[in-house]
DNA sequence: GAGCACTGC
């Protein structure tokens, strides 16, 4: 069977014949250009061709590879960043690191005569490095735009900047603004991911000849991410994650420490970025009831895709329009803008990069903030040829397999293949098939090395994609959409895109979330394709037809339209944006979703009957937890509960991915069951988590060995301890930690009951009772739910349950389950209804 | 007796 199939792959390196069922319609430029709606694609191709020669001639381009062309060391996830904050990004090429020293170690070797950093002058080697980097900076596409950008922000408070991949916007824009007369304080630049914030800060520090913020009081550059704050009194450029800035905005509503906020990667449209933009809009327009700033806050919104119109409209009169229309449709706003506005400078279609700033009045008012500047900066990308399937396929694992071997036989090395798949199971399935087929290859054919890549994969296995490809070998990286944004895989010239991805969707009616395999959007398809053209010209095989591409949605549905909104709304209320139905949303969630979330917050007593935020709600909003978990924590601090320390342990464990390792074989599973038995508690999963965290904390000899013995993830437990520490700090700040709790003050039975009562208070909508037929039905909603097989209560019958997770995967499952008494549940429900 | 894309405070 295997042999037969192998013979379908010709050995002479010719493409597969029609008999194999794989044939591709070639993507032709001319044909495509005439087609409307595919313009973005066409434009990229055109421009790519134009830039290819330039790019390849560019000297020193390769040396910058550790950063992408924006000077951004794109997010290889170093999970234990806080443990190794100065660890070089995993895929940095050794030669691209500063030679002979690191920024971190050098200061200790200061010669006595050299100026000390604390005296305000950076060490000379930093200045040398700064000067050496200047030519590279000057060659970035954004460099010629420095003056227009400065001029635009002198005139207006808001700038929308579209910069394609490789334009250099993330590193250069803050540096352009630093010397401006209005810029007397700090510039904040937000990033969706920790690694990006950290590595951008490092890069900009190098370019500015500065130390990192926590190394010297004079250091000008810093970053701030959870568990890792590297800022100091002299920090003028501060990279932070979106979540970090949101927390700051709750504590300092007028953002008094900043002169400007640069919101980067807006096109990714995280819930956090949507909230930040809404708050900034209110702040810039003076709508929010915050203390007025003495100087206006400058706002730069940066996006990779040309969504300028929507953003301009948003900061212009967006609020009004969006309320009138209920929901802004992308197409709608586009046509409106183009009718009422002149051209906004160079569109992507043009290759010429003349001055691109043009201001245009949205509507004349006395306020200058109604004027928004826009700017487009081209990127640096090699051309990528797109190849579609002639016929749609159901079995993309099979199609991918054929194309992998077709490329392998036909295309010369080097040139690795990146395959986008939906999840772990399809990845592992394809990996197995590749290895089977590769065994049958002739010895004169180069080898194939299949490497899986998904977030749940252990760190060391993920690292394998960065190790140099062995001689006469082609890597095939099988990835989820982690490779779309979070990880840049080096060496890729061929992309195979299955056109699907798993998307989480919250169902308001049922109050549960489900994970669905859905077609990706055009913008995601373009993003995936672009991964083939980062180092050289490439090819993208799409496992769908050209028609299939054309019927894709233009862009991925923003997260705010498909998630549980209770956290977002609590944040809004905590910031004083009381009227959530009229909040300036870039995309307005359906009314039903907003109301569902408001009701949920009311049930948690985070809101008063009037809809105003309660004192409890304010505390919950300041905790790095979902509203439900926040509520559990606040409940535990009440004197009559008095079980805060236990509950912090449980919540910390609930805040990380599974702390119990997932075992594959039956044998290992049984082994794990036996080893964990001493941790399991009949009260359920929450008390089991508590015991596990307690035992781990008590372990004084070797915690790693303890974890191995109990089949517990050491990495997850380290994370639990970090979160625990942070929660305890915040509890003390919020005056929650004033209880007289003593470990021996009450019986363990009473403590368990108190802990469960707190969990019940937070998760009151996630409760179910046992029915006579043995099934469970939720008490608020009357839906059938089953205890997930991963629970210690699986297969057990108890009169009522409370669960911390409610997911739908073929069937409604309760995960993280505790047994409770039915009258406890009824009591709480009666009290809140 | 099931199955889990990806971030982040």
Give me the CA A454–C1' B6 separation in Å, rounded: 10
State the pLDDT confidence band at A183, using cuts at 50, 70 and 90.
very high
Strand B bases near protein CB (under 7 Å) are 1-9
Both A687 and A799 in one domain: the answer is no
Give me the CA A746–C1' B6 separation in Å, rounded: 43
Q: Are A346 and A352 in contact (CB under 8 A)?
A: yes
Kindly determine whether the C-beta of residue A809 is less than 7 Å away from any atom of nucleic acid strand B.
yes
Average pLDDT score over residue span A719-730: 93
Amino acid A537: pLDDT: 93
Both A394 and A482 in one domain: the answer is yes
pLDDT digits (tens, 9 = 90+) for A360-389: 333 333 334 458 999 999 888 899 999 999
Higher pLDDT, A63 or A317: A317
For the cut 80, the answer to whether the pLDDT of residue A133 exceeds it is yes
Core vs surface per residue A648-674: b (16+ CB within 10 A) or e: bbbbbbbbbeebbbeeeeeeeeeebee
State the pLDDT confidence band at A2, using cuts at 50, 70 and 90.
very low
Kindly determine whether the C-beta of residue A247 is less than 7 Å away from any atom of nucleic acid strand B.
yes
Closest CA-bearing residue to C1' of B6: A482
In the three-class reduction of DSSP (H, G, I as helix; E, B as strand; rest coil), residue A507 is classed as: strand
A76 part of a folded domain: no
Higher pLDDT, A332 or A683: A683
Other beta carbons within 10 Å of A746: 15
β-bridge mates for residue A44, sequence order: none
Q: Are A148 and A211 in contact (CB under 8 A)?
A: no
Rg (CA), chain A: 28
Both A272 and A389 in one domain: the answer is no
Give me the CA A193–C1' B7 separation in Å, rounded: 7
Q: Which residue has the tokens 């394809």?
A: A430
Please provide the DSSP assignment of A167-208 as one string.
Answer: S-HHHHHHHHHTTSTT--SEEEEEESSHHHHHHHHHHHHHHH
- State the Cα–Cα distance between residues A279 and A242, nearest whole angstrom: 13
A569 part of a folded domain: no
Higher pLDDT, A59 or A316: A316
pLDDT digits (tens, 9 = 90+) for A618-664: 999 999 999 999 999 999 999 888 899 999 999 999 999 889 987 77
- State the Cα–Cα distance between residues A654 and A676, nearest whole angstrom: 18
Enclosing domain of residue A738 = 623-751
Amino acid A378: pLDDT: 86
Q: Are A563 and A623 in contact (CB under 8 A)?
A: no
Nucleotide with minimal C1' distance from the CA of A810 is B2
Give me the CA A789–C1' B1 separation in Å, rounded: 6
- State the Cα–Cα distance between residues A500 and A521, nearest whole angstrom: 9
Give me the phi and psi of A502, to 5 degrees please.
-90, 135
Q: Are A579 and A539 in contact (CB under 8 A)?
A: no
Both A690 and A728 in one domain: the answer is yes
pLDDT digits (tens, 9 = 90+) for A289-346: 666 788 899 999 999 887 788 899 898 864 333 222 222 223 333 322 222 222 233 3
Nucleotide with minimal C1' distance from the CA of A272 is B8
Give me the CA A481–C1' B7 separation in Å, rounded: 12
The enclosing domain of A225 has a CATH number of 3.40.50.300
Considering only CA atoms, which of A761, A756, A754 is closest in space to residue A832? A761
Higher pLDDT, A58 or A519: A519
For the cut 70, the answer to whether the pLDDT of residue A54 exceeds it is no
Q: Are A611 and A585 in contact (CB under 8 A)?
A: no
Please provide the DSSP assignment of A576-630 as one string.
Answer: T---GGGS--SSPPPHHHHHHHHHHHHHTTSB-TTSPBPHHHHHHHHSSS-HHHH
| Structure letter (DSSP) for residue A282 | H
Q: What percent of chain A has pLDDT over 70?
A: 78
Lowest-pLDDT range, A507-511, A684-688, A767-771?
A507-511
State the pLDDT confidence band at A507, using cuts at 50, 70 and 90.
confident
- State the Cα–Cα distance between residues A140 and A137, nearest whole angstrom: 5
A72 part of a folded domain: no
Last residue of a domain, one of A529, A556, A583: A556
Other beta carbons within 10 Å of A60: 9
Amino acid A111: pLDDT: 41
Nucleotide with minimal C1' distance from the CA of A424 is B4
- State the Cα–Cα distance between residues A148 and A183, nearest whole angstrom: 16
Both A322 and A454 in one domain: the answer is no
Give me the CA A21–C1' B6 separation in Å, rounded: 34
Considering only CA atoms, which of A69, A171, A159 is closest in space to residue A375? A159
A636 part of a folded domain: yes
Both A256 and A330 in one domain: the answer is yes
- The alpha carbon dihedral of A635, A636, A638, A644 has a sign of negative
A409 part of a folded domain: yes
Nucleotide with minimal C1' distance from the CA of A567 is B9
Both A656 and A767 in one domain: the answer is no
Give me the CA A297–C1' B6 separation in Å, rounded: 32
Q: What percent of chain A has pLDDT over 90?
A: 53
A586 part of a folded domain: no
A566 part of a folded domain: no
Kindly determine whether the C-beta of residue A201 is less than 7 Å away from any atom of nucleic acid strand B.
no
Give me the phi and psi of A210, to 5 degrees please.
-115, 155
Residue A60 falls in which region: left (phi positive, over 0), alpha (psi -120 to 50) or beta: left
Nucleotide with minimal C1' distance from the CA of A626 is B9
Q: Are A600 and A566 in contact (CB under 8 A)?
A: yes
Both A771 and A812 in one domain: the answer is yes
For the cut 70, the answer to whether the pLDDT of residue A414 exceeds it is yes
- State the Cα–Cα distance between residues A63 and A65, nearest whole angstrom: 5
How long is chain A? 833
Lowest-pLDDT range, A144-148, A334-338, A771-775?
A334-338
Both A361 and A238 in one domain: the answer is yes
In chain A, positions 549-568 with C-beta closer than 7 Å to nucleic chain B are: 567
- State the Cα–Cα distance between residues A429 and A822, nearest whole angstrom: 45
pLDDT digits (tens, 9 = 90+) for A238-283: 999 999 999 999 999 999 999 999 999 999 999 999 999 999 999 9
pLDDT digits (tens, 9 = 90+) for A434-493: 999 998 888 888 999 999 999 888 888 888 888 888 899 999 999 998 998 888 888 999
- The alpha carbon dihedral of A88, A89, A91, A93 has a sign of negative
Q: Which residue has the tokens 């609590």?
A: A570
Q: Are A71 and A168 in contact (CB under 8 A)?
A: yes
Higher pLDDT, A394 or A602: A602
Estimate to the nearest angstrom the gap between the alpha carbon of A234 and the chain centroid: 29
Amino acid A388: pLDDT: 95
For the cut 90, the answer to whether the pLDDT of residue A547 exceeds it is yes
In the three-class reduction of DSSP (H, G, I as helix; E, B as strand; rest coil), residue A747 is classed as: coil
Kindly determine whether the C-beta of residue A270 is less than 7 Å away from any atom of nucleic acid strand B.
yes
Both A275 and A148 in one domain: the answer is yes
Q: Are A25 and A385 in contact (CB under 8 A)?
A: no
Both A208 and A279 in one domain: the answer is yes
A601 part of a folded domain: no
Residue A580: both structure tokens together: 């959530």
What angle, 0 to 180 degrees and rounded to 10, lies between the N-to-C axes of helices A330-340 and A308-315? 80
Core vs surface per residue A37-51: b (16+ CB within 10 A) or e: ebebbbbbbbbbeeb
Kindly determine whether the C-beta of residue A775 is less than 7 Å away from any atom of nucleic acid strand B.
no
Residue A43: both structure tokens together: 């434009």
Nucleotide with minimal C1' distance from the CA of A664 is B3
Considering only CA atoms, which of A196, A186, A175, A297 is closest in space to residue A232? A186
Give me the CA A159–C1' B6 separation in Å, rounded: 29
Considering only CA atoms, which of A762, A715, A725 is closest in space to residue A645? A725
Strand A767-770 and strand A538-542: the pairing is unpaired
- For chain A, what is the domain count? 4
Q: Element (H or E) spanning A299, and its range?
A: strand A298-303
Q: Are A730 and A624 in contact (CB under 8 A)?
A: yes
Give me the CA A361–C1' B5 separation in Å, rounded: 42
Amino acid A300: pLDDT: 95
pLDDT digits (tens, 9 = 90+) for A689-720: 999 999 999 998 899 999 989 999 898 999 99
* DSSP H helical ranges for A411-517: 424-439, 459-463, 482-485
Q: Are A537 and A414 in contact (CB under 8 A)?
A: no
Kindly determine whether the C-beta of residue A711 is less than 7 Å away from any atom of nucleic acid strand B.
no
For the cut 90, the answer to whether the pLDDT of residue A73 exceeds it is no
Both A372 and A392 in one domain: the answer is no
């Amino acid at each position: 069977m295997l042999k037969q199939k192998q013979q379908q792959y010709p050995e002479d390196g010719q493409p597969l014949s029609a008999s194999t069922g794989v044939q591709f319609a070639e993507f032709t430029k001319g044909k495509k250009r005439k087609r409307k709606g595919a313009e973005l694609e066409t434009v990229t191709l055109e421009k790519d061709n134009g830039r290819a020669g330039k790019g390849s001639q560019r000297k020193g381009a390769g040396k910058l590879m550790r950063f992408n062309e924006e000077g951004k060391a794109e997010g290889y996830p170093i999970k234990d960043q806080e443990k190794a904050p100065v660890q070089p990004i995993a895929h940095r090429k050794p030669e691209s690191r500063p030679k002979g020293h690191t920024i971190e170690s050098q200061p200790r070797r200061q010669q006595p005569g050299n100026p000390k950093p604390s005296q305000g002058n950076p060490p000379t080697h930093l200045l040398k490095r700064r000067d050496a980097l200047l030519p590279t900076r000057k060659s970035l596409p954004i460099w010629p735009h420095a003056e227009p950008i400065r001029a635009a922000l002198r005139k207006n408070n808001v700038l929308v900047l579209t910069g394609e991949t490789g334009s250099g916007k993330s590193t250069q824009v803050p540096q352009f603004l630093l010397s401006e007369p209005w810029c007397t304080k700090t510039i904040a630049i937000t990033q969706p991911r920790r690694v990006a914030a950290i590595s951008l800060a490092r890069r900009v520090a190098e370019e500015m000849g500065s130390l990192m913020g926590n190394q010297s009081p004079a250091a000008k550059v810093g970053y701030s991410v959870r568990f890792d704050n590297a800022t100091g009194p002299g920090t003028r450029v501060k990279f932070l994650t979106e979540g970090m800035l949101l927390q700051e905005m709750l504590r300092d509503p007028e953002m008094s420490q900043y002169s400007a906020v640069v919101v980067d990667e807006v096109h990714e449209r995280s819930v956090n970025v949507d909230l930040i933009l809404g708050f900034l809009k209110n702040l810039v327009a003076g709508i929010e009831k915050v203390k007025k700033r003495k100087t206006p806050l400058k706002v730069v919104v940066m996006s990779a895709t040309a969504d300028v119109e929507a953003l301009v409209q948003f900061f212009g009169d967006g609020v009004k329009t969006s309320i009138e229309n209920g929901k802004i449709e992308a197409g709608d706003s586009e046509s409106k803008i183009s009718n009422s506005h002149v051209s906004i400078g160079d569109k992507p279609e043009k290759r010429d990069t003349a001055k691109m700033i043009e201001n245009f009045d949205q509507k004349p008012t006395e306020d200058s903030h109604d004027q928004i500047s826009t700017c487009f900066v081209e990127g640096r990308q090699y051309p990528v040829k797109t190849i579609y399937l002639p016929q749609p396929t159901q079995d993309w694992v099979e199609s991918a397999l054929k194309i992998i071997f077709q490329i392998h036989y036909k295309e010369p090395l080097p040139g690795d293949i990146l395959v986008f798949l939906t999840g772990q199971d399809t990845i592992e399935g394809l990996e197995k098939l590749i290895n089977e087929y590769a065994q049958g290859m002739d010895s004169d054919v180069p080898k194939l090395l299949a490497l899986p890549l998904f977030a749940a994969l252990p760190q060391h296995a993920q690292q394998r994609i960065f190790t140099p490809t062995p001689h006469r070998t082609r890597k095939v990286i099988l990835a989820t959409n982690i490779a779309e944004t979070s990880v840049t895989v080096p060496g890729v010239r061929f992309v195979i895109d299955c056109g699907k991805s798993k998307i989480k969707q919250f169902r308001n009616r049922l109050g549960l979330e489900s994970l669905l395999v859905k077609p990706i959007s055009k913008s995601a398809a373009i993003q995936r394709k672009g991964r083939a053209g980062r180092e050289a010209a490439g090819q993208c095989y799409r496992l769908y037809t050209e028609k299939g591409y054309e019927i894709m949605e233009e862009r991925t549905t923003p997260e705010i339209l498909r998630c549980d909104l209770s956290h977002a709304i609590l944040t809004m209320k905590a910031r004083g944006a009381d009227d959530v139905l009229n909040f300036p949303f870039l995309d307005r969630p359906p009314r039903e979703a907003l109301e569902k979330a408001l009701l949920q917050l009311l049930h948690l007593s985070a809101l008063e009957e009037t809809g105003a935020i309660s004192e409890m709600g304010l505390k919950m909003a300041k905790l790095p937890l979902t509203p439900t978990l926040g509520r559990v924590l606040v409940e535990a601090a009440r004197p009559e509960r008095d079980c805060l320390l236990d509950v912090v342990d449980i919540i910390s464990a609930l805040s990380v991915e599974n702390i119990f390792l997932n075992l594959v074989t039956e044998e290992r599973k049984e082994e794990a069951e036996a080893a964990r038995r001493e941790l399991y508690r009949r009260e359920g999963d929450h008390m089991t988590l508590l015991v596990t965290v307690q035992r781990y904390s008590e372990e004084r000899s070797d915690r790693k060995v303890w974890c191995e013995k109990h089949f517990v993830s050491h990495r997850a437990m380290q994370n639990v301890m970090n979160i625990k520490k942070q929660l305890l700090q915040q509890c003390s700040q919020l005056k929650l930690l004033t209880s007289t709790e003593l470990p021996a003050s009450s019986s363990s039975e009473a403590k368990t009951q108190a802990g469960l009562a707190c969990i019940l208070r937070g998760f009151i909508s996630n409760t179910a009772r046992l029915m006579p037929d043995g099934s469970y039905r939720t008490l608020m909603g009357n839906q059938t739910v089953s205890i997930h097989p991963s629970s210690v209560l699986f297969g057990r019958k108890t009169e009522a349950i409370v669960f911390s997770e409610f997911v739908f995967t073929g069937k409604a499952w309760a995960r993280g389950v505790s047994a409770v008494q039915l009258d406890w549940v009824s009591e709480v429900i009666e009290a809140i209804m």
